[in-house]
Structure 1
Amino acid sequence: MPIPVSLIGAPTDVGAGARGVSMGPEALRVAGLQPTLEGLGCEVIDRGNLSGPPNPWQPPVDGYRHLDEVVAWNSAVHEAVYGELQQGRLPVLLGGDHCLGIGSISAVARHCREQGKKLRILWLDAHADFNTSLITPSGNLHGMPVACLCGHGPEPLVRLGGHVPAIQPNMVRQIGIRSVDEGEKRFVHEMGLEVFDMRYIDEMGMRHTMELALAMLDERTHLHVSFDVDFLDPEIAPGVGTTVRGGPTYREAQLCMEMIADSGRLASLDVMELNPALDVRNQTAEVAVDLIASLFGKSTLMRR
């Protein structure tokens, strides 16, 4: 049976600190995402782009930038992702900035509650995204989605999926982290978030990291991957607004994706923060599509 995949574009940068990720969905399409997935045997429908308010580019109010616009976009994302899951399809959200993970993951969590499934979230990112209005240095909501999902954020975002909190911290495994704000470090520690930072990956290797991140998955587990393209080292992925040196190499990232594919549990995906305005000849989009192909089972050899 071919995997039924739905592509959903969310072209907005309302939660980000730099303009340009609103062009991310189109760059992924130009890089051949749909034919690549079809070549791997997926049955792909491109649902086109969601619509929402433009970016007003205003300073923060009460610790949040563009809260109303972020709520509107996440509400649209929530309904779109939830609708695809209801139809038994695998939604692939094409961002857009990472604040959209609130809408996407709250929809996945809602689906899992209704289906009696366990949820595991792999958050592939250079940043923990666990800020709140009290500790954020910028007010940008793309630095807050994990905290919002865990119940720490503005009421309209925290309640988006109809259940507070949408997720528990023990559902999340963060991989590739290497930039965490000072107040955020304490909060991550207090909440018991499981973080495999780059030092851990340097010391233990990507294989051991992924074995732990994927441990205890079973047929009742829905695996959601939220892939921020700044997870990758900027040497191979320059097209992001918040580059942090020292990320996973191309081969480390491939191993990460291949081990997720080997689990057989991938059921929903976000691809976030691709900024074509900062890219070089769409290089980052092409790398991202290549890695997504590995997530869906592309490998060098036939594996027994």
Structure 2
Amino acid sequence: MASETNHKFLSKPLTVGIVGAAFSGGQPRGGVEQGPARLVEFGLIDQLKGLGWNVDFDEKFPTYEDFKPQTENKHKILKNVGHVASVTKSVAESVQKVVEKGHLALTLGGDHSLAMGTVGGSAAVHKDVGVIWVDAHADINTPLTTDTGNLHGCPVSFLMGLEGTKEVTELDWLKPCLAANRIVYIGLRDVDAPEKKILKDNKIKAFSMHDVDKHGIGKIVEMALEYLGRDKPIHLSFDVDALDPSVAPATGTPVRGGLTFREGHYICEALYETGNLVAVDIMEVNPMLGEQSYVLQTIQIGCSLARTAMGESLL
């Protein structure tokens, strides 16, 4: 059973609504769309039920092929904008429905462009939601700064409505819903130069791996919670590439020097203990990358992060 905590924003009986977001269009590497199904195949649903949660899940993983426009409008560099826009809008609607019921929204990705939908959905219900973004990357490039045009590197800029985002009319459905003081990053270590400037100019709270090494993960999480407010709803968006590649190797953009197994799980444990979680994303598990042992290891990690964010404890 899950450890006891006072859930401030969830109704009883505790229910998790699972959104299976089998989508890879925000980045170029195939396979990440298989992540949700593989997490479920590994037994995640029964694991969550074993923790005492009711699970609302239709066991469907839409491929989102029907969401692909016949022709994509030309943007200077951005790729698959129409497809990403229609998919993230659908995901936002799904997450919003879950959160409106007082259920915890657990989104299984899929690439991290989906967070435009997941955070958009939770923010539609909780205007003051605080986002804890656990990632090796800041994902805050704008249409004006991105070198690759891959939208999984841009979701935060669209959530905040930064310069250049309004011109991307396909994403008009997503109104700015995340203020600069409502997000905290943990685990950063591969941040583009323009992103560093954006973080500094907007005074965004960001803890790099240097900060984790210096202060320890316990202190980092304490500072994050103090900053966002201890009585505010929390959305945890966890990209598994925040973890060191030795821990979670099967992911599209691994970066050495990441969070340890325990550091990643401590974040989830500590956020569960607050009783403030309203939404959790597990993103960028890619079963097509690496040896099968590495794939299985990463799937196991994805499941254990979800379980820990929902109350699994060591004692």
Provide the TM-score with structure 2 as the length reference.
Answer: 0.88
1:222-243 Cα deviation digits (max 9, x unpaired):
1100011111111010110000
- For 1:12, the aligned partner's letter is F
| Matched-pair contact (CA < 8 Å) for 1:53–1:72 | no
Q: Give the AA of the match of 2:144.
A: L
Answering whether residue 262 of structure 2 is matched by residue 247 of structure 1, we say no
Cα deviation digits, residues 125-178 of structure 1 (max 9, x gap): 0100010122111000000001110002254465434x4x21101100000011
Q: Distance in 2 between matches of 1:182 and 1:60?
A: 26
* Equivalent position SS for 2:278: strand
Query: CA separation in 1, counterparts of 2:87 and 2:272?
Result: 29
What residue is the counterpart of 1:77 in the other structure?
Answer: 91
Among 226, 239, 248, the residue aligned to 1:228: 239
Quote the residue 2:151 is aligned against: 141
Residue in 1 that maps onto 2:61: 49
1:195 deviates by: 0.4
Letter in 2 for 1:174: Y
More displaced 10-residue stretch of structure 1: 230-239 or 87-96:
87-96
Q: What's the counterpart of residue 217 of structure 1?
A: 229
Q: Judge conservation of contact 1:60–1:139 (CA < 8 Å) in 2.
A: no
Report what 1:300 is aligned to.
314
> Distance between the aligned counterparts of 1:254 and 1:112, measured in 2?
25
* Aligned-partner residue type, residue 246 of structure 1: G
User: Is 1:160 the counterpart of 2:173 in the alignment?
Assistant: yes
Alignment pair present for 1:26 and 2:37: yes
- Distance, in Å, in 2 between the alignment partners of 1:74 and 1:158 is 9
Aligned to 1:90: 104
Q: CA deviation at 1:59?
A: 12
Match in the other structure for 2:20: 9
Is the CA contact 1:50–1:76 (under 8 Å) kept in the aligned structure 2?
Answer: no
Q: Please give the alpha-carbon distance, in whole angstroms, between the structure 2 residues aligned to 1:51 and 1:270.
A: 18
Instruction: Check conservation: 2:188, 2:206, Cα contact below 8 A.
Output: yes
The amino acid of 2:173's aligned partner reads: L
Q: Distance in 2 between matches of 1:225 and 1:67?
A: 25
- The corresponding residue for 1:178 is 189
**1:107 lines up with 2:121 in the alignment:** yes
2:130–2:235: 8 Å Cα contact kept in structure 1? yes
User: Any gaps of 5 or more consecutive residues in structure 2?
Assistant: 1-11
Amino acid at match of 1:69: H
Tell me, yes or no, if the aligned pair for 1:2 and 1:41 is still in contact at 8 Å. Answer: no
Alignment coverage as a number of residue pairs: 293
Q: For the residues of structure 1 that align with 2:235 and 2:218, how far apart are their CA atoms?
A: 19
Aligned to 1:283: 297
SS in 2 for 1:278: coil
Q: Give structure 1 stretches of 5+ with no counterpart.
A: none
Q: Identify if the C-alpha distance between structure 1 residues 144 and 60 changes in structure 2 by more than 3 Å, giving closer, same or farther.
A: farther
- Given that 1:119 and 1:171 are in contact with CA atoms closer than 8 Å, whether structure 2 keeps it comes out as yes
Structure 1 residues 55-99: Cα deviation after superposition (integer angstroms, max 9, x where no partner)? 79x998312100000001111101111111222221111111100
Aligned-pair identity in percent equals 35
* Matches of 1:205 and 1:64, distance apart in 2: 37
Pair 254,159 (structure 1): closer, same or farther in 2 beyond 3 Å: same
* 2:93–2:121 CA contact under 8 A, matched in 1: yes
Other structure's SS at 1:290 match:
helix
Partner of 2:3: none
Deviation at 1:49, TM superposition (A): 2.1
Check 1:208–1:158 CA distance in 2 against 1; reply closer, same or farther (3 A cut): farther
CA shift, 1:254, in A, is 1.8
CA contact (8 A) 1:53 1:73 kept: no
